[in-house]
Structure 1
Amino acid sequence: MAKINHNNYLDVVDNVWTSAKEKGIMHINSEEQTFNGTKFRIKGRDLINFGTCGYLGLEMHPDLVAGSIELTKKFGTQLSMSRAYIRPSYIQELEELMSQIFDGNKVICYTSTSNAHISVIATIIKPDDLIILDQQVHFSVQFPSKNTKLQGTEVKMVRHSNYEMLEEMIRENYNKYKRIWYMADGVYSMHGDLPDTIILKRLLGKYPKLHLYFDDAHGMGWAGKNGAGYIYDRLGVNERIVIISTLAKGFGCVGGTAIFADPEMYRRTDIFGGPLSYSHPLSPANVGAAIASAKIHLSDDIYTYQSELKELMDYMNLRLKEKNLTNISSPDSPIYFIGSGLNKVTRNFVHRILQEGIYVNTATFPVVPNDKSGLRFTLTRHNTKADIDLLTDVLAYHLPKAIEEEGDSVERVYKEFGFHFQQDNNDFKLESKNNSNLIVEEYATIHAINAADWDLMFKDRGNISHSGMQCMEEIFSNNEKPEENWSFHYIIVRDSKGKIVLATFFTGAIYKDDMLAQENVSKQIEEVRKTDPYYLCSKTLAMGSLFCEGDFVYLDVEHTEWRNATNRLFEFVAKVKKEIDATAVVLRDFEAEHPLNSLLKDEGYVQMKMPNSNIVSHPKWNSKEELLALLDSKNNVRNINRYVFRYEHLFNVTIKKTLTNLEAEKHYQLFLNVKKVNLAFNFFSFPVKIAKIISKYSDWEFMEFRLKDSEELIACVWSFLGKDHICHLILGLNYDYNESHHLYKQIMYRMVKRGNDLEKSKIYLGLTADYEKQKYGAKSVALLGYIKVDDMYNLDLLSSLSG
């Protein structure tokens, strides 16, 4: 019962990246027939390459090309055989050379860094270990870490590079586990920032159970002795440090590496190591290139190449500073991130740079927060100082123009990323685009709004009529618990003649971040909330509220100013969010064709699936036979006859307009029964007084269920009555009678029957339990929501719990 089609992480990624693809800034096809590392050919134009991760440019080195060709000629294109049976001589040679790069420590080579993580983590992590993931550690580390849960390993997450939080988590769990693993990146691939190795050394010395596991793929080649990488240069490896690196990126070819100082870890991984044994080894072509690169790394040439890249990095850092660009990356890595803010600004910005003949990357949600997307680029030895001059000039020219063109503020964006915009240095004149004569009215209570105006727009949209909002405000105010007190925020946008163009309302409340998560995730979190009730909760500004169903936005799309009105709406949301100190914004419930959908995406909101709304709109029926005749499915007819009509005579069903205090308490307890078992839609319980308050309002009614010859209340339904609709909003039941009397099915039928008896044109059956409601011909309306968060940590943590 009450199952929800959960929003999937891949759905979010698909939505965001599909939009970027449609804008021509991601999933771009290149057209060059040969490639020397300096340029891509895209749509007939040559674009300077600032997007690849071959930092030392070795992929075009003649020794690597020759080595690849030579080994292919000697051994063919592949050895289709597990290395558990045969490890060919050329892989032995490569691993011995890699061992020399890492001062004699043992090295295993893989077809990819991702395969290396899958292999090593599955082998070295034990059930009595604890894994602590850095929030931004690469997905290739997070994925196999989640899989260790199947053997009983616990996996936790700390905020990105938050070492105080890391140490606190180590202390709290120190006596519970044999080993504690902190897993992080050596160079973070999106922002190019670096871990604090000094602090990590201190923690290693202080906590003997602490072990470090690093993905240093982006540090290999350009950093350290023999190009062994950023982490190896600063920490090395020992029995408590494992490094996974790469043969790709700065190394110049393809493949992954695992570096061990612990002989037993090496032995166990080498013997089996998952994909190391059940998948193909590196091809001769890849190994030939890798051997040549390893020899370069063991020669003095590596230091020449490192020095050349370092000179370019220093020059890039100087130019970015001179241009006062929003670069938030470490000056010590060749990865750069220029913050631009909203997704629509980033798309505009990146498109402009591409049009200037320069290829760069796009960085958007979910890898960065909604309002902190940006342009990412990398620096390689293929680039020149002239390329850098051109890129930085173009970035400085187009960033403010992209921001202003999309209706955002340059000063706001710069402040968001910790910079001050220096207008004189950019020869850019800021212009206001708000030339509209619209009048924006803001209210904190429905009592300040004309009832006739409001009801003209919302009287037949669930329980959000003027009276319905009065009831809601009374329920969610003056309560003891903070989660039961909501702030209300209304906006009405009129034209100069007073005609309403747009209207809606928002509530500010504490939300559970796992509200739409999988049930098993919410179960884990609710265990923590027994002692920490606000764990993984966020102050949220939400369109509508959790106590209503319906279309929350009135928008006159025929009005010439409707787009300007939506801009005023976005400004209102930003202002209120700041006023109430919310960290998340949710807008809901929009059907697929709603005109705001595309605008919300442009504003940086990420689309997600919401629970469906279920609405019955049958013509009037006068008998059970007439109802069944309206249904399309014979199975549904049989189901209703068998489980509903067969038991109907057992129930007494009464309708009440008001409740005594004692009755209201009984109703509330039945509601709690449903609330406690329904973690598929997880929110804080409503205030105890809710039924008493509803009982004061004439447009609500209560349906009560008892067995005949019994006074025990076993189920209830609270319904809002509109002029042309009935909205069944709250359901409560005693589960002791559900299987024996098919109580829930009986309730569903009575809800449909009540709407029919009152001759309502629409019967809102509420969210969830779509299948049961569709048996009565309810139309399940797919709804979309949009979310924007300041901080990705809670979402990332939820993702880590869903393994």
Structure 2
Amino acid sequence: MAKIKHNNFLDTVDSVFNDAKRQGVLHLYAEGDRLTGRHIRIGQRNLFHFGTTGYLGLEQDQRLKKAAMDAINRYGTQFPLSKTYISHPLYRTLEEKLTEMYSTPIIITKNSTLGHLGVIPSAVADQDAIVLDHQVHWSVQSAVKLLKARSIPIDMIRHNNLEMLEDRIRKLSSKYRRIWYMADGVYSMFGDVSPIAELIELCNKYPQLHLYFDDVHGMSWIGKNGTGYVLDNLKELPEQILLFGTLSKTFGASGSVLTCSNAKMYAKIKNFGGPLTFSAQLEPASVAAAIASANIHLSPEIYSLQADLKERIAYFNMLLAQSDLPLVEKNNSPVFYIGTGMPITGYNFVNRMMQEGYFVNLGLFPAVPVKNTGVRITISRHNQQEEIKGLVEAMQYHYPRALEATYSSDEKVRSAFKLPTLDIKKIDKELKNNLKVQYTNSISKIPKNSWDALLGEYGIFDWEGLRFLEALFSKNKKKEENWGFHYYIFRDLMNKPVLATFFTYSLWKDDMLAPESVSRKVEESRQQNPYLMTSNVLGMGSLFTEGNHMYLDTSHALWHEALLLMLDALEALDHKLNTKMLVFRDFIKDDKLHDFFHNHGFIQVSMPDSSIITKLNWQDSSTYISNLTKRSRSHFRKDIAAYEERFRVEVKDKIDPHGHDHLFNLLENVRHNNLGLNTFSFPKKIFKLMNDHPGWEFITLRLKAAFSKDGRELMVGVMFCYKNIGKGYVPAFIGMDYEYAKVHQIYRQLLFQTIKRAGEIGCKKIPFGMTAAFEKRKLGAETISKFAYIQSKDNYSLELVGMLENND
């Protein structure tokens, strides 16, 4: 029915990156007239470089440099011709050497991103299916999207979760010829690895299973001839595995390499593969440098280089083991990740390390969940023992200070990464001494006047409205119909409120704000599993309410501290409830709040636009309509006034119990037809509780007998309205008979009758809520852009919904 404006993933990433740029940790420029690998110059400071992915340091090897310069002198800066026609003179040599390295046929690609774009559509047939590890590199996920146009099913499992993978294999095996599982060999953020041996066992158990590995971060520093982590475990490459390595990063040159032992598939990919066919080939300098590197990889020297790096990694691991730094993944790869939890702590820590003389990378959303921000440290042969030791000493000194400066703690960070906590607990007594918190799980424990003075005017969450909601969402059979309510009021020492809000703990559909087309697909699967893709969420306000759910006195000197204490309280509650997501919602644009939430581990997402009439000065219908724009008046005459006589309009404070089932069906009609805001249904006892509550009334539309199909008067529309303490008239929900809805303009009629009723009883505000903003605007409502801030335990649900959205 209503068109929903969904959050744009790129807008969210743009917001995160802009914050990081402002903090001076992203989109930096190296300075100086030369690079050594050991140092990097930033902001006129020479820093020890712990951010490179050139783990063996070959990009600074004189043999590679000389080969590249000689090639430019002999062949020019590029060979501007597709490889489909003819390859550069040095290509044959490089292909021969890489084939010798891998002992299987290879294909050289411009880079791994273009390589995946070329290979995956060629390797995956229309009769195949794909399962992605949700942490597989972005370049793989991007290439897979091309296959959606061919209706190839694409699924996603949680990171390294082989039980989920086997479940997907069982479900797909009867329908598809091959099932491709796509993963990284070594993951670029945490340095963890794919469980190769276990995956091979699955391949043996399910011959349909084929594996596709991006092993660019496992390249050169391990394996025979430096062919990487995956091949080091496999020893030989089976026909059902495609493997990508890199000629850049640790290899020291440029480009990427695919190896494939299946002769038929190899020929198919090599003959035609999108970018493989039409993109420019590697420049002569890159090919020559890669040949020089391949010569090293084919010599015993590669093993001494690997051993040299291994010593540095072992030394770094030893120093970390002697520290209290929260290392997220203990491994023997060159990639290490020290968790900081909140982005603001990460910004502070990285800047401290740069001031101390060490360059490290910050891991940010979307590469990691926003509350799993941290510092990625890479060890290379450029790094000497003295600076490795200095790095650890500097981290040990600055890490607790970065936590303290950003009101965080080691315990919070370890909890975010599910790491064992240390015995030491630090509580910020100063904040707690300046503010006191009142917490309760029932509105009945808060004085009515006290609550209503803070939040009573905004919607169905004045004291009486919350009493209704607590009764509605308790003691029900279905788990989605039972909510936990949590109320917080933060006061200063003079008992003056600084912040007040409430949260509900409830079951959400992960696709709640996804496009309707996505929710329709998911709902089909929910016919067999009604709780598919659902999560327990601790959300500000509730799924029943809309509006400003938080009172915050920003003129108070302690407003920022109140927000920090609220986060502490919610973190403790979240830990107890074990939720998947924490959500703050219904905010208008506010730079201060945006910075606060982002810095403390939340990402901003756009919500559907909200609509409101704030100054309803009602005299009569004609006066109200005369104040609308010319275009809106025309709309009213054509689409509302012309149909009003078809209905008998009634306003009731009670509905006969015999009509409850019909009302519920009308309500469910709208829910099923408006999947752009996809929620569970409400408990059926809602109408009995509304009948017993003085704040509720019902605007009903009965289609006159002359206009119905069977000659009987029918109830075809209803608006469920709440009168709050602040003279707001809240049209909370709508029910319609879709057999008549469009023909008789029922929705538009109900909107107008709501305005008319609100005016007649002296209400000044009508918070129309989300969806259908265009229709409401035509009747004089103001459209307001709203935002939410979410903190997810991992990115899996977000990425799965995003994948389904792109699959549309």
TM-score clears 0.5:
yes
Q: Does 1:786 align with 2:789?
A: yes
Ranges in structure 1 where 5+ consecutive residues have no aligned partner = none
**1:259 matched to which residue of 2?**
259
Pairing of 1:620-639 with structure 2 (within 5 A):
620-622=617-619, 625-632=622-629, 634-639=630-635
C-alpha displacement of 1:713: 0.4
| Residue identity opposite 1:210 in structure 2 | L
Unpaired runs of 5+ residues, structure 2, are: 706-711
Look up the match of 1:712: 714
Q: In the alignment, what sits opposite 1:673?
A: 669
Residue aligned with 2:126, SS: coil
Distance 1:594 1:88 in 2: 54
- Partner of 1:560 in structure 2? 557
Q: Percent identity?
A: 39
For 2:683 and 2:600, locate their aligned partners in 1 and report how far apart those are by CA, in whole Å. 34
Moved more, 556-565 or 272-281: 556-565
Q: Distance in 2 between matches of 1:543 and 1:118?
A: 41
SS at match of 1:739: coil
SS at match of 2:692: coil
Match of 2:695 among 668, 683, 699: 699
In the alignment, which residue of structure 1 is the partner of 2:383? 383
Q: Distance in 2 between matches of 1:459 and 1:84?
A: 71
State the Cα distance separating 1:429 from its structure 2 match.
9.0
| Cross-structure match for 1:445 | 442
Aligned ranges 1:112-151 → 2 under 5 Å: 112-151=111-150
How do 1:333-348 and structure 2 match up within 5 A? 333-348=333-348
Corresponding position of 1:194: 193
C-alpha separation in 1, matches of 2:487 and 2:749: 38
Deviations 1:735-784 (A, max 9, x none): 11122222222222222333333332221112011111111231111111
2:505 maps to 1:508: yes
1:243-265: CA deviations, max 9, x gaps?
01111111112211111111111
- What is the CA-CA distance between 1:392 and the residue it aligns to? 0.7
User: Which shifted more, 748-757 or 127-136?
Assistant: 748-757
Q: For each residue in 1:339-377, what CA deviation from the matched residue of structure 2 results, as whole angstroms up to 9, or x when unmatched?
A: 122222222212211111111011133322333321111
**In structure 2, what is the Cα distance between the partners aligned to 1:430 and 1:461?**
35
Q: Which amino acid aligns with 1:46?
A: N
CA drift of 1:625 comes to 4.9
Q: Is the aligned partner of 1:396 residue 2:393?
A: no
Q: CA-to-partner distance for each residue in 1:117-159, whole Å, 9 max, x for gaps?
A: 1111000101221211112111111122232122121111222
Structure 1 CA distance for aligned equivalents of residues 463 and 620 of structure 2: 35
- Superposition pairs for residues 58-73 of structure 1, below 5 Å? 58-73=58-73
Q: Contact 1:223 / 1:230 at 8 angstroms: preserved in 2?
A: yes
Where does structure 1 differ by over 6 angstroms across 4 or more consecutive aligned residues? 428-431
Deviations, residues 222-257 of structure 1 (Å, cap 9, x unaligned): 111111111122213231111011111111122111
- Between the aligned partners of 2:458 and 2:328, the Cα distance in structure 1 is 46
TM-superposed CA distance for 1:628, in Å, is 4.0
- Work out the CA distance in 2 between the residues paired with 1:599 and 1:151: 43
- The 1-side partners of 2:567 and 2:411 are apart by 17
Report which stretch shifted further, 747-756 or 276-285: 747-756
The answer as to whether partners of 2:616 and 2:765 remain within 8 angstroms in 1 is: no
- Whole-Å separation in 1 of the counterparts to 2:333 and 2:563: 41
SS in 1 for 2:609: strand
Secondary structure at the aligned position of 2:40 is classed as strand
Measured after TM superposition, the shift of residue 571 of structure 1 is 1.9
Report the Cα offset of residue 418 of structure 1: 2.3
The secondary structure found in structure 2 opposite 1:83 is coil
CA distance in 1, matches of 2:604, 2:14: 10
After superposition, where does 1:46-125 map in structure 2 within 5 Å? 46-103=46-103, 105-125=104-124
SS of alignment partner, residue 604 of structure 2: strand
Give the corresponding residue for 1:358: 358
| Displacement of 1:435 | 5.1
Which residue number corresponds to residue 581 of structure 1?
Answer: 578
Residue 101 of structure 1 deviates from its aligned partner by 1.1
Change (3 A) 1:550 1:435: closer
Aligned length: 797
The separation in 2 between residues aligned to 1:169 and 1:162, in whole angstroms, is 11
Question: How much does 1:170 deviate?
Answer: 2.0
C-alpha distance 55-640 of structure 1, shift in aligned 2 (>3 A): same
Moved more, 757-766 or 385-394: 757-766
Amino acid of the residue matched to residue 783 of structure 1? K
Distance 1:431 1:705 in 2: 58
TM-score, normalization by structure 2: 0.95
Looking at structure 2, the residues matched to 676 and 417 of structure 1 have their Cα atoms a distance apart, in angstroms, of: 38
Distance in 1 of aligned mates of 2:462 and 2:608? 22
- Residue correspondence of structure 1 range 197-216 to structure 2 within 5 A: 197-216=196-215
User: Cα RMSD between the aligned structures?
Assistant: 1.9
In structure 1, what is the equivalent of residue 774 of structure 2? 771
Deviation string for 1:555-604 (max 9, x for gaps)?
22222222222222112211222333322111111111275333222221
SS of the aligned residue for 2:302 comes to helix
Q: CA–CA distance in 2 between the matches of 1:509 and 1:417?
A: 23
CA pair 555-324 structure 1, distance change in 2 beyond 3 A: closer
Q: Is the 8 A contact 1:38 1:383 kept in 2?
A: yes
Normalised TM-score (structure 1): 0.96
Structure 2 residue identity aligned to 1:716: V
Quick one: structure 1 residues 726 and 431, their matched pair in 2 at CA, closer, same or farther if it must change by over 3 Å? Answer: closer
Alpha-carbon displacement from aligned partner over 1:693-716 (angstroms, at most 9, x marks no partner):
112112221100112234210000
Give the Cα separation in 2 of the matches to 1:624 and 1:420. 65
Structure 1: distance between partners of 2:428 and 2:547: 39
- The Cα shift of 1:330 comes to 4.1
* Distance across 2 between alignment mates of 1:202 and 1:564: 53
Query: In structure 2, which of residues 636, 642, 653 is the aligned counterpart of residue 640 of structure 1?
Result: 636
In structure 1, give the amino acid aligned to 2:419. Answer: G
In structure 1, what is the Cα distance between the partners aligned to 2:542 and 2:733? 14
Matched, 1:286 2:292: no
Distance 1:422 1:445 in 2: 34
Aligned partner of 2:45 in structure 1 is 45
**Cα offset for 1:95?**
1.6
- Structure 1: distance between partners of 2:619 and 2:71: 83
- State the distance in 2 between where 1:546 and 1:435 align: 31
- When structure 1 is superposed on structure 2, of 224-233 and 339-348 the one drifting more is 339-348
d(CA) in 1 for partners of 2:365 and 2:211? 28
Structure 1 partner of 2:708:
none
In structure 2, the CA distance between the partners of 1:389 and 1:429, relative to structure 1 (3 Å rule), is farther
* Contact 2:604/2:788, CA 8 A, preserved across alignment: yes
1:126-275 alignment, distance < 5 Å: 126-235=125-234, 236-275=236-275
Distance in 1 separating the partners of 2:169 and 2:659: 50
1:737 equivalent in structure 2:
740
Residues 722 and 729, structure 2, Cα contact 8 Å, conserved in 1 = yes
The SS at the match of 1:380 is coil
Contact 1:180–1:211 at 8 Å: present in 2 too?
Answer: yes
Whether 2:754 is the aligned partner of 1:758: answer: no
Q: Is the 8 A contact 2:99 2:106 kept in 1?
A: yes
Give the letter for the 2:267 counterpart.
R
Match of 1:540 in 2: 537
The letter for the 2-side match of 1:708 is K
Change (3 A) 1:6 1:114: same
3-state SS of 1:277 partner: helix
Q: Secondary structure at the match of 1:377?
A: strand
C-alpha contact 1:370 1:789 (8 A) present in aligned 2: yes
- Aligned partner (choices 742, 746, 750) of residue 747 of structure 1: 750
Aligned residues of 1:651 and 1:705 also touching (Cα < 8 A) = yes
CA offset at residue 193 of structure 1?
A: 0.7
Q: State the alpha-carbon separation in 2 of the partners of residues 159 and 575 from structure 1.
A: 25
